[in-house]
Chain A
Amino acid sequence: MTGRPHEDGELLLREIGAAWAKTQQHWHDDMASSFGRSHWTPLIDESRSYLRALGEFMELLTAAERETEY
């Protein structure tokens, strides 16, 4: 990972999403539905929330550095 932290995090989120989609091709019983509701959705929602906040904060930090370069 060599990009900005939130961009790398978004990439990881897409990768784990692809892994889950692949799993769902072979696992789609009641247990899978329960796992999706109780574990997967909270994981993705919390990850998205964090990465959005991180991205906004990184923008602010970049602006702070840029605007104080005299």
Chain B
Amino acid sequence: MADIHADIEALKELAGALTRYRHAQREVADRGDYQIAATRASLEEKASQWRSLLARRQADLAACQHATATDTEAGGHPGCHAEAAAVREAEERIESIRRWQQQVEDGASAFVGPSSRFRNLLDVDLPRTEHHLLAIIDGLEAARGVRAARS
């Protein structure tokens, strides 16, 4: 008896597996979206920190240059090479982060299509597939006079 209806049991298992797949892949998609948002926020935070640092270093450089001008008039000239290098470093970091931010946005744009199609698959197509499977199961059970409890 069990072998005769093995297809029905297999279809019920598949329907259950599809439902679990839909929920689990939705969680995967949510985690992917969260990771994107987290990286965007992280890069913006880093950019903000380096902009603040740049402002401080530019102030340090200006103060140094002012002191240097005063010292030069007095005969001394310590120079501001370290301060200037620190400013350049901050500028380079900010530019590097900006380039990575642009790459992430380009990647996000390219990801919109696959992500949207997959969400649609999970939210629309897969439930339809599950309903279709259940209809097939109902049809098979009706044709064979089986009325087993649905798992």
Contact = CB atoms under 8 A, between A and B. Distances in A.
Query: Are A and B associated in one complex?
Result: yes
Interface of A: 1, 5-6, 8-9, 12, 15-16, 19-20, 22-23, 25-27, 31, 35, 39, 42-43, 46-47, 49-50, 52-54, 56-58, 60-61, 63-65, 67-68, 70
Given A23-B14, A58-B35, A35 B24 contact: no
27 contacts: A1-B27, A1-B28, A5-B29, A9-B28, A12-B24, A12-B28, A15-B17, A19-B18, A20-B14, A22-B10, A23-B13, A31-B136, A49-B117, A50-B115, A52-B114, A53-B115, A56-B107, A57-B107, A57-B108, A57-B111, A61-B39, A61-B107, A64-B100, A64-B103, A65-B39, A68-B43, A68-B97
A60 B43 contact: no
Interface stretch (B55-63, B79-87, B118-126): B118-126
Contacts of B126: 43
B32 A22 contact: no
Contacts of B97: 68
Given A35-B132, A64-B100, A64-B104, A54 B13 contact: no
Describe B's contact surface by its main secondary structure: helix
A47 B35 contact: no
B36 A61 contact: yes
B148 to A, nearest CB: 15
The interface size bin for chain B is 35 or more
A8 B32 CA distance: 11
B14 A68 contact: no
A66 B125 CA distance: 37
Interface in B86-101: 93, 96-97, 100-101
Interface of B: 6-7, 9-11, 13-14, 17-18, 21, 24-25, 27-29, 31-32, 35-36, 39, 42-43, 46, 50, 93, 96-97, 100-101, 103-104, 107-108, 110-111, 114-115, 117-118, 121, 125-126, 129, 132-133, 136
Contact of A53 (B21, B100, B101, B111): B111
Contacts of B21: 12, 15-16
